[in-house]
Chain A
Amino acid sequence: MDRLDIQPTATVQPPVPRSISARKVGRVEAMRINLRRSWQLYAMLFLPLLWLAVFAYIPMWGAQIAFRNYVPSGGFAGISSAEWIGLEHFTRFFNSYNFWPIMRNTIVLNVYSLVAGFPLPIILALALNYIGRVWFKKTVQLVSYAPYFISVVVMVGILFQLLASGGMINQLLGQFGIDPILFMSEPGYWKSIYVWSGIWQTVGFNCIIYLAALAGIDPTLHEAAILDGANKLQRMRDIDLPGIMPVAIILLILNMGSLLSTGFEKVILMQSSLNRSTSEVIDSYVYWIGLGSDIPQFAYAAAIGLFKSVIGLVLLYTVNLLARRLQGSSLW
């Protein structure tokens, strides 16, 4: 794009030998003309760019406290004056007794979410696509989108109510003579509750994109298949599934990039001292040692957060590379 804008001035320049200084003059001149022509566009960008600098890039600069002996009371000026200590925070984390349980919980939770949660919107979309009655299809969509709009606090609140010892689920189990189970404090159930409540909230909404991809499939493919005597299951397998594959792969790549990210919000709400052994993940650990504790350890928490972000970036890059090699669809 830059090239295109520079061209008009470049042609105005006489064809003198293109010394470095001449090129520089041309560039400055081009920028001047450019600014005069579209200064209003840059003016519009001023606030968003200021926001981006302050709330996205300055924090990235601040992430260097991960390598420094930074004290929480130090303020922002304290960042660059704090002593460099290299990878000390990182090695401390890798060697801590918490490291492996936290890594295991994080990876298991995300893989569980992915394996259980990724195919379901696809299956839902395929099923809805063969529903002939419009009112039924519309009803399923309307109802299944609804949980997506419930806040995470309310979601966890509902879990606490329904899974309580006298709650709906235990009443149901009681009908079969099963004693009440304290689901929320039982470490063995924690991950399943987390994953399936997440699926309950998002499966409907996540299927929108697949429904759109299915709607984009050429109907003549189906007509030809019907003439050839294919039944619905065969059409689903040989026409619909390949048709939504590119979308599915892109979404899968995006999911892989966040293999170590769970987000803070839902995890810390669902945590208690009783289920920590299975519920503590990287994100929640960063929160608890950084902001949720009376003795905040900013630098240590930032180091763990940075470790996670870097791994995420590497994963995303690798998976994207693989997808491009194998499948031909990729993010960039």
Chain B
Amino acid sequence: MSDHYTVDHGIDRAFTIVNYAILTLFLAAVAYPLIYVFSASFSDPSAVISGKMWLWPVDVTLDGYRAVFRNSRITVGFQNSLFYTVAGTLVSVVLTILAAYPLSRKDLAGRNIIMFFFVFTLLFGGGLIPTYLVVREVGMLNTRWALIIPTALSVYNMIITRTFFQSTIPDELLEAAQIDGCSDFRFVRDVVIPLSGPIIAVNALFYAVNQWNQYFNALIYLTRPDLFPLQLILREILVQNQVDLSQITDVDQLMQRQNLQDLLKYSLIVVASAPVLIIYPFVQKHFVRGVLIGSLKG
């Protein structure tokens, strides 16, 4: 913006040069670990260990990816995560709209009290253990529901959505519809939702990314391995170092076991992050919009 009316300040020119230099360094610092992991996942493990691979893949191999996709626990986890993400996002978005629309209506009696009950949960909560007891009591332990229902609604998202409704759906539209005898249900279905594409996108994306990335609820609510989401399998392999390379049997290959484990880990990091990182540049503006609507009335 400032380059349009440049005054000849020596200090400004120095500032600009330093600014570009620092941001370039910053860019490299953020990107380098990502590039390194990506390249390592395609490189011969011995090249990685010896430091020959430092930026781009060396001695390209797909062994890591082969091991990832041959591991049935990983593929089952991947499928489970897909299910949790799709189902969870659907439930969450519906619940968010159901809460946000009535609370956006200025003529709703009791609106402020109900709103207070939602907002208060941002400031104070029962805590980990009481929440666990509730989930146990309603019989959701070791069911798929445990990952979908207890965290279904984000009050923060609900507030953003409510702000969006208040600022984009004109009161005149509601009045006109009411004069024509339109019910609230129909108004939501035929007017509000068609006008709310952007905010539904923001919600769906935030919920989907959270659901895809989260492991903690699965850790505390699930013990049945066939229900585990990908992130929990990742925890076992990447953090707890439990890798089952059952396809390796003979002794020579056992020698390379450690190398292959590292390769598998790099590949697994890429496989687990790829769905989100590939989609996000295309939907970046929705995330940015979400943050901005949130800052309107935070």
A144-B26, A222-B2, A232-B12 known; A160 and B98 CB under 8 Å? no
For the residues of A in contact with B, the DSSP-based class is: helix
Contact residue range for chain A?
A: 35 or more
| Surface stretch bound by A, among B60-68, B195-203, B233-241, B246-254 | B233-241
Q: Give a binary string over A154-165; 1 marks a CB under 8 Å from any B CB, 0 the rest.
A: 101110111000
Please state if B239 and A269 are interface contacts (CB–CB under 8 Å).
Answer: yes
Task: Given A45-B114, A140-B23, verify A291-B129 contact (CB < 8 Å).
Answer: yes
CB distance from B208 to the nearest CB of A (A): 11
A2 to B26: give the CA distance in the assembly, Å. Answer: 53
Please give me the residue from chain A that is nearest to B96 by CB atom. Answer: A48
Are B124's CB and A48's CB within 8 A?
no
Once A44-B188, A55-B134, A129-B1 are accepted as A-B contacts, the answer to whether A149 and B280 lie under 8 Å apart by CB is: yes
| Contact between A52 and B153, CB atoms less than 8 A apart | yes
Closest to B265 in A: A161
**Contact partner, B262, options A47, A144, A161, Cβ 8 Å:** A161
Stretch from A96-104, A186-194, A298-306 at the B interface = A298-306
- Cβ B128 vs Cβ A291 within 8 A: yes
Q: Are B37 and A40 in contact (CB under 8 A)?
A: no
B125 touches A150 (CB 8 A): no
Q: Are A156 and B238 within 8 A (Cβ)?
A: yes
- A84 an interface residue at 8 Å Cβ cutoff? no
Contacts of B214 in A (CB 8 A): 151, 265
What is the total number of residues of chain B having a CB less than 8 Å from a CB of chain A?
98
B296 nearest CB neighbor, chain A only: A212
Is the CB of B138 closer than 8 A to any CB of chain A?
yes
A179 interface residue, CB < 8 Å from B?
Answer: no
Q: How many residue pairs at the A-B interface have CB separations less than 8 Å?
A: 287
Q: How far is the CA of A287 from the CA of B216 in the complex (A)?
A: 11
Which secondary structure dominates chain B's binding surface? Answer: helix
Which residue, of A55, A131, A264, A305, has the highest number of chain B Cβ atoms within 10 A? Answer: A55
Check B126 against A63 for contact (C-beta < 8 Å). yes
Q: A174 to B121, alpha carbons, bound, how many Å?
A: 50
Known contacts A52-B118, A209-B295, A59 near B130 by CB under 8 Å: yes
> Contact between A287 and B128 (Cβ–Cβ < 8 Å)?
yes
Is there contact, CB below 8 Å, between A264 and B123? Answer: no
Residues of A within 8 A of B272 (CB): 151, 153-154
A249 to chain B, nearest CB (A): 12
Given A144-B26, A233-B11: A62 in contact with B280 (beta carbons within 8 A): no
- In order of increasing CB-CB distance, the 10 nearest A-B pairs are A59-B126, A157-B238, A305-B127, A151-B213, A62-B130, A48-B99, A40-B184, A132-B3, A59-B130, A41-B102
Task: Given contacts A56-B121, A306-B127, list 15 more A-B pairs with CB under 8 A.
Answer: A41-B105, A41-B108, A49-B114, A51-B95, A140-B27, A150-B273, A153-B272, A154-B273, A157-B268, A161-B262, A162-B37, A205-B291, A222-B2, A309-B125, A331-B298
